[in-house]
Structure 1
Amino acid sequence: MQPNRALLCAFFMALLSPLADAAEALRIKSLQRCGDLLDNQHQDWCLQVRGLGSTLPKLHLGESTLPASLVRRSEGGLRLQLSAAQYRSAALWLEDGERVSNPVWLSLNSSHVLAATPDEVAKNMDGLTTYVDLVSVLIEESHEGRDEASRLAKKYGAEVVGAIPPLNTYQLRLPVKDLTERDALVLRIGSETSVDAVVVEESAPESGQEAEAGRAPRPQRNSEEWAANRFADAVNYYRRRLPAGNAPIEPKPIRVGVIERDVDFDAPDFVDYLGACPDGKPRTCLYARDAEQPDGHGSTVAGILAAHWDKGGNTGFLRGLDKTSNGFEVIVERNSDAGITANIAASVNLVEDGVRALNWSWGIHRVGTRNVEGDEIDSLVRSGIAMSGYEELLEEFFLWLRKEHPDVLVVNSAGNGSSFSGRDEYRLPSSFITEQLLVVGGHQRSERPDVAVDDPAYVVKRNSSNVDMRVDITAAACARASTREPDATGEVHCGTSYATPMVTGIVAAMLSINPRLQPEQLRMLLRRSAMTIGGDYDFEPMDAEDLTAPILPSERNYQLTDKDVGRSARLDMQKALDLAVQSRDRVR
């Protein structure tokens, strides 16, 4: 009797299926709120998962293993329902036999917004992609936000679909079909006495990175870039000084938020972050969605903080402190693809989850902004109507931060438009004047091989970096990207996006030494410890040469004749740590 070929094929496929499942990596590609975003008691979460096998994997949330009854399969992944009263925000990761996924931060806080789908956007008169029927409404403080948003929705035939409750901001889906109808309805809603502002989102599916001007060259000697900020000296100081026998310091665990999309966990720089973290002795932990490519913006930014050392790609500053620190948690989070509104929603959730330092390697310019040479900027621009809404939203965020979380510091990139970072009519968010926003410009190694590291001529301003007195400090703008090949040399990526996590990393290390430090004190210590960059202009630099706010006599022990006075500030990571140690006796 001849065997049934169909049965044989089915038999062999059943045997091979587990092998196929085991061979493919298990990765969480996306984790977002779904269903009713306004139901904060029972939250639905949708996961897009690569490598999902035939059996349902175990889901771990922090130290808890979630019951299988809370999980079900959905198109492209899994759907999870959690009770906010029973669980708290933590890292979520999957386990399927010997395979474990990347851990992703799941925030059970209430701020979540929807992103538009490709058929829900259109081009406006400026040629920019804008949302057609999704807008966010900032409700005046004198009104209860949820109730007033519902009243407005009912009045105008809209639907409340998202919210950032701590900012009294609610997302509406409008009953409109095109931009003409949207703009007319936005004007009517904006005229309501209870409405502070309407945020019109101008974001398409995009990389999310702070694009750099094409004319800015990459440095020839990348190995010297971080030496300009004494990166290795700072790591060595932290490792040796904190456990010093005569005056040991017990470092504190610090949580850092990074507003980016994802990180490539298949890269050698990040592969050992899979699964539970920390596992045993406290160390740096990294939580993020998985990326397709190792050299993406999120991977490079996060890598400057957390990449494994000596893998050929990036080098993480906080990772270098592992043997001494009490652990750092680096949370890479974007909320959704809803542009600036999502950035703020994610930031609010992370702050409520205990983040002390937020890394914002992003920013936008108004249409028509010109650089220092008079040319119009064409990268990361937004229309006037969008900028007005964003400005109000950012103002609400910083007012809330000052009132509810005064110990949190936001570190923001100055931008890469070779323009002015502090002009609020042209640039956001770097133009905001608040003690809780630190702005970072970019520099690169000069062509002077004969000068010491602390010489102002050791570095030069990166051509593309935005400038002016709103910039607090500069840092190395170039870093090696991660790669998929072990020990391979990654390409050099440059921009103020990559100078920013250098400063965020040192801020986190300073807070681990002295968690009592407040944002204004952190800025003061960074400026007091700074080396210099640029010429001596005697407090009267030309606008194009005013790289940062000039160093003041008060930042040099009130010595009017100090050689640093009047120059721009350059990050000195080692000395900043030393001042943080000294501050423990002064800040109680």
Structure 2
Amino acid sequence: MERRWLLFLVLCGVAAGARAEDPLRLQRLERCGDLLDTRRQVFCLQASGLASGPVQARLGGVAKPTERDGDRLRITFETGKDTSGPLRLEQDGRNSNSVWLSMAGNHVVAAKPNEMATNPEGLSTYLNLVSVIIEERYNGLDQARQLAQKYGATLVGAIPALNTWQLRLPVKNLTERDALILRLGHEVSVDGVVIEESSAEEAEREVPVSKESPDEWAANRFADAVNYYRRRVAARGAPVEAAPVRIGVIERNVDFDSPDFAEYLGPCELPRTCLYARDAQSPQAHGSTVAGVLLAHWQKGGNTGFLRGLEGVSKGFEVIVERDSDAGITANVAASVNLVEDGARILNWSWGLHRIGTQKVQGGDIDTQVRSGVAMAGYEELLEEFFRWLKAKHPEVVVINSAGNGASFAGQDEYRLPSSFVTDQLLVVGGHERSGQPDLPVNSPDYAVRRASSNLDLRVDISAAACTHGVDPGADGEGSVHCGTSFATPMVTGITAAMLSINPRLTPAQLRILLRRSSLPIGGDDDFEPADGEDLTAPIIPSERTFDLSHPDIGRSARLDMQKALDLTVQSLDRRR
């Protein structure tokens, strides 16, 4: 018996030691407890790789007391005393990834599996969770409490900055829900009701590309831009005083076990380039590919993140990958508000929605990223509130949004969100691919062509390379190819961040002007009639070519030129002086 007991202790010691060597990863971070408590904010964490014994949580380097229950942790912060910042874990000499913890107080909860139903359109929808947008002239919290009491609902989440409040309704089926939503919508104080449909984020379809095809990013002069920034910012005699830039990427998580992101584990401070995100279980995650365009290490995984290539010369970039929760588009907006209030100058929105019945350019219905008309109406109201708030409170912030991959029109407000919004603070990005024609210079309009699946029309501001390698290296060291406007968008986000690091005073409108003036041409020499199937972006106009009416680029679509955009940004400093 004694031998068995000793063997048991030895085995336990071996198991504990093995677990202590497992990678420490922060996988979930969400508000819990009373979400409406304005004095204290409680966050619940879930981590993998935790060994037995004490674990240390640090917010911006400051140790915080932690309650533990297995692989779940609970931390309480005080509003006004604790500030937003990166949160990470330490144990046995190991460091976790850092996740951005926002004290801004905007949060909505996701539905549980038993709180979902299938609507008549065949889409999964939230059964008992809705968000009500209260008219600006009312006190939102008071009105939300009155509505909750009147209809027997419970107040469970909020986006106070947008006067939006989440209710859990006392309903058992969709008939009861829709009846209650109709009554809520007719309340004098209610501006709109938001319901969630389908998954919060649907992955882009992966499209194989021949391994013999050349680097797609050459069409945007990616390497030239990195070289220019590194030489020009540190130029002898006339250096550019760069500034740090904070970027919000609305995605779920990132795989820190990938060599592309392993260096971002542990503490990170400017002027380094820092990444804050939840850890993903697989490198195939949509967020990993989007973040990789910005931050992938240049030597470890075979990829080349644009901002990572500027490290050592820039004053640093903070990239925050954040989704708030899995509560659909409402959570995307809640996270966006938090990030803006926490100082983000740029938001990367590699997502968008089509209304059921949206037609492709060549005919036929779009069958991905679709929502019902009722859901789209609520999303439109919510996004309208967001951009109105952004203009009033944070006019310096720019949102960069993917045009979508439905081979449809990005600017039809009844059928596409959010790309159809017309505001200086929203830049819309289409996708192109290399034409494959040999011996063409990069400035030829035929060097690249519109990717057939990319949405298009006059609302698209600029196009960028749609295809990139993921961060899941195979036997040959290269990740599988991912294509879509989701991955063209961070190309524009990256160059915009570099531009703001050179000249932080640039407004969203000025950023668009510089991107368009510096752009390369793509597509035919079209007129200025409404977009047809061959157009990709708003046509280049004479004012974007020094008013040269005979310039060969006039009437063509605009393709991102990263190097020229940086050059014009440096020139803007001289004009400012």
TM-score bucket of the superposed structures, by smaller chain: over 0.9
The residue that corresponds to 1:546 in the other structure is 535
Give the equivalent residue in structure 1 for 2:320. 331
Please tell me whether residue 517 in structure 1 is matched to residue 512 in structure 2: no
Aligned equivalent of 2:544: 555
1:385-424 aligned within 5 A: 385-424=374-413
What is the rounded CA distance, in whole Å, between the counterparts of 2:255 and 2:543 in structure 1?
44
- The 5 A counterparts of 1:455-466 are 455-466=444-455
SS at match of 1:544: coil
Confirm or deny that 1:91 pairs with 2:86.
yes
Identity over aligned pairs, percent? 63
SS at match of 2:89: strand
Determine if contact 2:60/2:85 at 8 Å carries over to the other structure.
yes
User: Aligned-pair distance for 1:312?
Assistant: 3.5
CA contact (8 A) 2:429 2:463 kept: yes
How many residue pairs are counted as aligned between the two chains?
A: 577
Match of 2:238 in 1: 247
Is the aligned partner of 1:117 residue 2:132? no
Contact 1:265 1:271 in 2 (8 A): yes
Structure 1 Cα separation of the partners of residues 74 and 497 of structure 2: 34
Q: 1:351 to 1:180 in 2, by over 3 A?
A: same
2:299 & 2:173 partners in 1: Cα distance? 53
SS in 2 for 1:456: coil
Equivalent AA in structure 2 for residue 91 of structure 1: P
Task: Encode CA deviations 1:414-460: one digit per residue, 9 max, x unaligned.
Answer: 00000000000000000000000000000000120120011010001
Q: In structure 2, what is the equivalent of residue 579 of structure 1? A: 568
Question: How far is 1:245 from its partner?
Answer: 1.2
Residue 226 of structure 1 corresponds to: 217
TM-score under structure 1 length normalisation = 0.96
Deviation, structure 1 residue 84: 1.8
Choose which of 60, 63, 74 in structure 2 pairs with 1:62.
60
Counterpart of 1:330 in 2: which secondary structure?
strand
Structure 1 residues 84 and 367: alpha-carbon distance in aligned structure 2, compared to 1, 3 A threshold: same
Partner residue, 1:354? 343
Match of 1:16 in 2: 14
Contact 1:313–1:483 (8 Å) recurs in 2: no
Offset from partner CA, 1:56-107 (integer Å, 9 cap, x none): 21111102111xxx31113541111111222100000011122110110000
Where structure 2 has 5 or more consecutive residues not aligned to the other structure, the ranges are: none
Q: Matches of residues 157-306 of structure 1 in structure 2 within 5 Å?
A: 157-204=152-199, 207-209=201-203, 211-212=204-205, 218=209, 220-278=211-269, 282-306=271-295
Q: Structure 1's 486 and 287: CA in aligned 2 closer, same or farther, altered over 3 A?
A: farther
Task: Measure the CA separation in 1 of the matches of 2:364 and 2:208.
Answer: 18
Q: Given that residues 28 and 48 in structure 1 are in contact (C-alpha distance below 8 angstroms), is that contact kept between their aligned partners in structure 2?
A: yes
Q: Secondary structure at the match of 1:262?
A: coil
Contact map agreement 1:254 1:508 (CA 8 A) in 2:
yes
TM superposition shift of 1:587: 3.8
Q: Which amino acid aligns with 1:524?
A: I
Q: Structure 1: how far apart are the matches of 2:552 and 2:300?
A: 40
Conservation of the 8 A alpha-carbon contact between 2:294 and 2:491: yes
1:566 to 2:555 alignment: yes
Report how far residue 223 of structure 1 moved. 3.9
SS class of match (1:33):
strand
Cα deviation per residue 1:156-192 (whole Å; 9 max; x = unaligned)? 1111100000000000001101100000000001000
TM-score normalised according to structure 2 size: 0.98
Contact 2:473 2:480 in 1 (8 A): no
User: Please, which runs of 5 or more residues in structure 1 have no aligned partner?
Assistant: none
Distance in 2, Cα, partners of 1:321 & 1:289: 24
Secondary structure of 1:447's aligned partner: coil
Q: Which amino acid aligns with 2:466?
A: A
Structure 2 Cα separation of the partners of residues 222 and 44 of structure 1: 50
**Displacement after TM superposition at 1:487 (Å):** 7.3
Check the 8 A contact 1:268/1:486 in 2, yes or no: no
Q: Is the 8 A contact 1:222 1:492 kept in 2?
A: no
Q: Decide whether the 8 Å contact of 2:474 with 2:480 is kept in 1.
A: no
- Contact 2:290–2:486 (CA<8 Å) still a contact in 1? yes
The residue that corresponds to 1:103 in the other structure is: 98
Contact 1:60 1:92 in 2 (8 A): yes
Residues 416 and 485 of structure 1: CA distance in aligned 2, closer, same or farther (over 3 Å):
closer
What SS does structure 2 have at the residue aligned with 1:369?
A: coil
CA distance in 2, matches of 1:222, 1:31: 40
Mapped partners of 1:208, 1:258: distance in 2: 16
Amino acid across the alignment from 2:20: A
Distance 2:70 2:131 in 1: 29
TM-superposed CA distance for 1:50, in Å, is 0.4
Per-residue Cα deviation, 1:118-149 (whole angstroms, up to 9, x for no partner): 11000000000000000000000000100110
Q: Equivalent residue for 1:153? A: 148
Say if 1:468 and 1:547, in contact at 8 Å, map to a contact too. yes
